[in-house]
């Protein structure tokens, strides 16, 4: 599998997209990626087939570059089924931020989403953004994120991930979280990262 990585970008950041089965992880990457998405989808079977026809069994991969080319985001999506959670455990140690996707309307998945969230937060060392899919209300998104175990420091973003604009808002929120963390940890100005910060916040 060949990953399309643009070495010309001044800064490259890795984002992990994870969450329960059928929450919208692949939809997010497909909506935002500016390159052909690499996926490992196979046909579902049994109860999963009643939810959607195909599912990721290894990893989705897409990329997004800020308009000025200063930063390139590499987006890695992991499967949502519990039997594949080990992939999230492997990936979360080698990324700059995590986007945790949950479907607000799929209440039957929230218990497992909470278990996945708590497992993730037990030892993650990077910013986490909770993308509350199929939700348009910020207060409702924050409430669901807290119920799943997200800390108040974790951003919760209401979104409709089938729409590129909404997917972009979630992605930019994750990038801003990464840049804010880098600014806090650095005494000297992060030039030219300050330009990336400005571009992300203006996006």
Residue-wise pLDDT tens digits, 156-179: 999 999 999 999 999 999 999 999
| CB-facing half-sphere around the CA of 37: CA atoms within 13 A | 18
**What is the DSSP pairing of strand 97-103 with strand 71-77?**
unpaired
Reported as a pLDDT band with limits 50, 70 and 90, residue 202 is low
List the one residue out of 127, 173, 121 whose CA is nearest residue 149: 121
Mean pLDDT: which of 76-90, 104-118, 170-184 is highest? 104-118
| DSSP class per residue in 117-150 | HHHHHTT--S-EEEEEES---HHHHHHHHHHHT-
pLDDT at 40: 61
pLDDT one-digit tens code per residue, 21-48: 889 999 999 999 999 988 764 444 445 4
Q: What is the pLDDT of residue 66?
A: 87
Q: Give CA 67 to chain center in angstroms.
A: 20
Task: Report pLDDT for 54.
Answer: 47
pTM given for the model:
0.82
Cα–Cα distance, 127 to 35 (Å, whole number): 25
Q: What's the angle, vertex CA 121, arms to CA 116 and CA 126, rounded to 5? A: 125
Spell out the residues 6+ positions from residue 118 whose beta carbon is closer than 8 angstroms to its own.
Answer: 149
Q: Among 3.40.630.10, 3.40.50.300, 2.40.110.10, 3.30.465.10, what is the CATH number of 11-202?
A: 3.40.50.300
């Amino acid at each position: 599998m060949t990953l399309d990585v643009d070495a010309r970008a001044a800064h490259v950041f890795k984002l992990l997209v994870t969450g329960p089965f059928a929450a919208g992880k692949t939809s997010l990457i497909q909506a935002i990626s500016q390159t052909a998405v690499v996926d490992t989808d196979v046909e579902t079977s049994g109860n999963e087939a009643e939810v959607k026809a195909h599912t990721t069994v290894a990893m989705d991969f897409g990329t997004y570059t800020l308009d000025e080319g200063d930063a390139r985001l590499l987006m890695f999506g992991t499967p949502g089924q519990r039997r594949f959670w080990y992939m999230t455990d492997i990936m979360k140690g080698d990324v700059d931020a995590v986007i945790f996707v949950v479907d607000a309307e799929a209440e039957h998945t929230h218990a497992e989403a909470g278990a996945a969230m708590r497992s993730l937060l037990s030892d993650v060392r990077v910013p986490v953004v909770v993308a509350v899919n199929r939700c348009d209300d910020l207060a409702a998104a924050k409430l669901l994120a807290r119920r799943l175990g997200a800390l108040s420091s974790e951003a919760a973003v209401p979104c409709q991930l089938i729409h590129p604009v909404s997917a972009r808002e979630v992605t930019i929120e994750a990038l801003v979280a990464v840049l804010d963390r880098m600014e806090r940890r650095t005494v000297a100005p992060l030039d030219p990262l300050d330009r990336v910060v400005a571009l992300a916040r203006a996006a």
